[in-house]
């Protein structure tokens, strides 16, 4: 099969994505998640937490809510509708840890859940940490 034949075959079976509609959905759902986070921050501040503690509690709350929605099968439906709107905030990280853990739970807690839990999030953590170290070294050497 030549490249042209393959391209025609792909075009035949691929639907065009409605870009502006997808962007609007992602923006709205991502904005709602951030608005929820801001509302929770104000609630925790009202309940007496300082700014640092309130920020920590917001992160914990959003991670828990995303994990709960993932376990209930709701997060996938929201993500299918909103796309990157759910994946970019901290909720996407929570989902990327919980989903593989749930998928491989039948293989046991060690070889299933434990081994597969960070299959998606692991590379993000590793390369994010490496990038922050490199940025820190550059800052230390050249910009301080």
CB 70 within 8 A of CB 45: no
Is 25 exposed, middle or buried, given 0-12, 13-18 or 19+ CB atoms closer than 10 A? middle
pTM of the model: 0.75
Rounded mean pLDDT, 77-98:
88
Count other C-beta atoms under 10 Å from residue 123's C-beta.
10
Give the span between the Cα atoms of 34 and 62, in whole angstroms.
Answer: 10
Percent of the chain with pLDDT over 90: 56
- pLDDT band, very low/low/confident/very high, at 87 (cuts 50, 70, 90): confident
Output the average pLDDT for the chain.
90
Kindly report, residue by residue over 5-64, the tens digit of the pLDDT: 888 887 788 877 788 999 999 999 999 999 999 999 999 999 999 999 999 999 999 999
* Token pair 């639907």: residue: 15
> What is the distance between the terminal CA atoms of the chain, rounded to a whole angstrom?
57
Domain ranges, ordered by start, for the chain: 18-86, 104-144
């Amino acid at each position: 099969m030549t490249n042209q034949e393959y391209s025609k075959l792909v075009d035949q079976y691929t639907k065009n994505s409605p870009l502006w509609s997808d962007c609007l959905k992602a923006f709205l759902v991502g904005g709602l998640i951030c608005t929820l986070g801001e509302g929770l921050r104000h609630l925790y501040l009202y309940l007496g937490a300082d700014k640092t503690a309130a920020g920590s509690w917001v992160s914990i709350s959003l991670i828990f809510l995303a994990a709960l929605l993932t376990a209930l099968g709701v997060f996938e439906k929201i993500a299918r509708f909103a796309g990157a709107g759910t994946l970019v905030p901290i909720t996407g990280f929570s989902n990327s840890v919980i989903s593989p853990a749930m998928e491989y739970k039948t293989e046991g807690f060690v070889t299933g859940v434990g081994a597969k839990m960070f299959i998606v999030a692991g590379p993000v953590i590793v390369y994010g940490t490496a990038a922050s170290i490199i940025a820190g070294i550059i800052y230390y050497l050249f910009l301080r």
